[in-house]
Amino acid sequence: MSLLGEDIVTEDGEFVINIGPQHPSTHGVLHLKVWLDGETIKRIQPHLGYIHRSIEKMSESLSYRNFIYATSRMDYLSAHINNQACALCVEKGLQVEVPERAKAIRILMAELTRLSSHQLWWGCTGLDLGAVTPFFYAFRERESIMAIMEETCGARLTQNYCVPGGVMYDIHPNFRNRVKDTLKQIRSKFNEYEEILTGNVIFEQRTKGVGYISAEDAISFGCTGPTARGSGVSCDVRKLFPYDGYEKLQFKEILEQGGDCYARYMVRMAEMKQSVFIIEQLIDNIPEGEFQAKTKMVLKLPKGEFYQRVETARGELGVYIVSDGAASPYRIKYRSPNFSNLSALERMATGTKIGDLVAIMSTIDLVIPDVDR
Amino acid sequence: MFLKEYFGSIYRSARSLLKGMKLTGYYFTHPKEIQTEEYPDNRATLTMFDRFKGEVTMPHNENNEHRCTGCQACEIACPNGTIKIITKQELQPDGKKKKAIDTFVYHLELCTMCNMCVLACPSDAIVMGQSFEHSVYDKRQLKKVLNQPGSKIMEGVE
């Protein structure tokens, strides 16, 4: 079946259109082929591969220290959490004990990343649904988080701050004050978010009851993260399989039963508050000590298979390393959350109107480089 | 009853829209709350954070001396093949030959600023610089030689 050589109108009278790969609402180079009956969506077929960079294959020729940087380019909005997943998996193989201070710093950075990612998503959702203003408000708060990242990690998006055994360098002396200022700013703006978008009548009508997916379907498609939690599926890896000391922290797993776009929206809005809550618990209690465990110059994992899962801003990221005892991995596989969430798009959007497709896509919160890797 | 619900929904809708408009109106009339930086105009006062990873640089002291021994640890540590070090044998005053760098080639166009080379360097010869305006018209200009012409290794660095 060729992509462009097909008839625009099928035998059943269905109209075939291509959305993307260059479309403002697809948030990247996602190509959707949509079969339409009038305005109603009959079928959706995502075409992938436009931004495939072969990160998994590339990693096989890099050492265990070096392959981590490339994962920042997968889900670039939760780059730190991707790095953390790889570092954790390598540590599992090496059986290195990570210092408490490094764990606390990692969690702080991961929650800041989640916060910034959700803020960008909030702005883009508004933008997709026709409200331009939220985009700028979201970027205002996100900018202060980016400043924290830049000051401590040295980069805004692709930090590469996690190394096997801990973090690359200690936190900046200014880190605590800057985080506290940012939290104060963000907490005061949550009301604004609610006022400008959540209660808005146009927004409610475009999201309530749109893009429904049941809990059973969400499980069978392998949805994770806020996409599944919007359907009432409990899947927070931080709660179920705690890593890096999440078990010591108080936070709630947000669940909504609606299963529609509005439920997924509310999950993310509440998760932002939980992230703020986690950071508040940790920021004054960063343990003293080393920020990095002593590791050998050349890391060699023992022969075997290692798997580690973490909760990124979009769902469950799994890192699977097969080692043959050499200095570089024999095989690496990433189980990316966006790929599974994208597979549920057809179930969500079939039967809805073409205009709702944009709303559904923006509440799944796709990052296309993570789909293709 | 129907009419009451109908007009009630109109009232609630209008109220939710006005609520949002009030917020945008507030920021429209309070320009002091604007937080944007006007980038090309603030170049003179713009300072980056001291840890910002802009490019790899090799600091030289006032006698045109650097700390690089040519051990190629950074070249091995780099995941992208960004660094190429060409070494030479230099004649010492006591007649012995010693390994030294001839050219330290740095391909900025391949660099991802991952900081692995800086961590790998045993003699702290390279650091991350804060410059971030790397746009050029010709990509050949991105290939840089980091050691300055006629520079030598600092005394006491092994």
pLDDT tens digit sequence for A293-349? 888 888 888 888 999 999 998 889 999 999 888 888 899 999 989 898 888 888 888
pLDDT tens digit sequence for B78-96? 888 888 888 888 777 777 7
Minimum-distance CB partner of A154 among B19, B35, B52: B52
* Integer Cα distance of A73 and A55 in angstroms: 9
Interface of A with B in 126-155 (CB under 8 A): 133, 140, 143, 147, 150-155
DSSP A317: E
pLDDT tens digit sequence for A332-346? 999 989 898 888 888
Write down the pLDDT at residue A6. Answer: 60
Q: Mean pLDDT check: name the lowest of A122-126, A139-143, A194-198.
A: A194-198
Q: Please, which residues have CB within 8 angstroms of residue A50's CB and are 6 or more apart in sequence? A: A21, A29, A30, A31, A368, A372
* Integer Cα distance of A238 and A275 in angstroms: 12
- The closest alpha carbon to A193, from A96, A113, A270, belongs to A270
* Integer Cα distance of A318 and A86 in angstroms: 9
- The closest alpha carbon to A282, from A328, A327, A249, belongs to A249
pLDDT of A2 strictly over 50: no
Write down the pLDDT at residue A27. Answer: 74
What's the ipTM?
A: 0.80
Determine how many CB atoms are found less than 10 A away from the CB of residue A373. 23
Enter the tokens of residue B36.
């944007």
Minimum-distance CB partner of B53 among A133, A154, A197: A154
Domains of chain A plus CATH, in order, are 52-372 (1.10.645.10)
- Round the average pLDDT of chain A to a whole number and report it: 86
CA-based nearest distance A314→chain B, Å? 24
Enter the tokens of residue B45.
């006062």
Beta partners for residue B88, in sequence order: B100
Write down the pLDDT at residue B137. Answer: 92
DSSP A238-259: HHHS--TTGGGS--PPP--S--
User: B104 near B145, Cβ under 8 Å?
Assistant: yes
Interface of A with B in 51-70 (CB under 8 A): 62, 65-67, 69-70
Mean pLDDT of B120-133: 86
pLDDT tens digit sequence for B41-66? 888 888 888 888 888 888 888 888 88
pLDDT of A66 strictly over 60: yes
CA dist A181 to A141, A188, A216, A280, Å?
Answer: 11, 11, 42, 12
Contact B115 A160 (CB under 8 A): yes
The answer, for B19 touching chain A at a CB cutoff of 8 Å, is yes
Write down the pLDDT at residue A1. Answer: 47
pLDDT of A3 strictly over 70: no
Enter the tokens of residue A217.
């379907």
Contact B115 A66 (CB under 8 A): no
Residue recorded with tokens 């596989």: A333
* Integer Cα distance of A7 and A3 in angstroms: 10
Helices and strands, number each (H, E), in chain A: 15, 8
pLDDT of A373 strictly over 70: yes
Mean pLDDT of A256-278: 89
Beta partners for residue A140, in sequence order: none
pLDDT of A146 strictly over 50: yes
Interface mutation target, options A59, A62, A73, A160, chain B, most CBs of B under 10 Å: A160
Q: Which helix (H) or strand (E) is A139 found in, with range?
A: helix A133-153
Which residues from B are below 8 Å from A207, CB to CB? none
CA-based nearest distance B25→chain A, Å? 11
Interface of B with A in 49-68 (CB under 8 A): 49, 51-53
Residue recorded with tokens 């996100």: A142
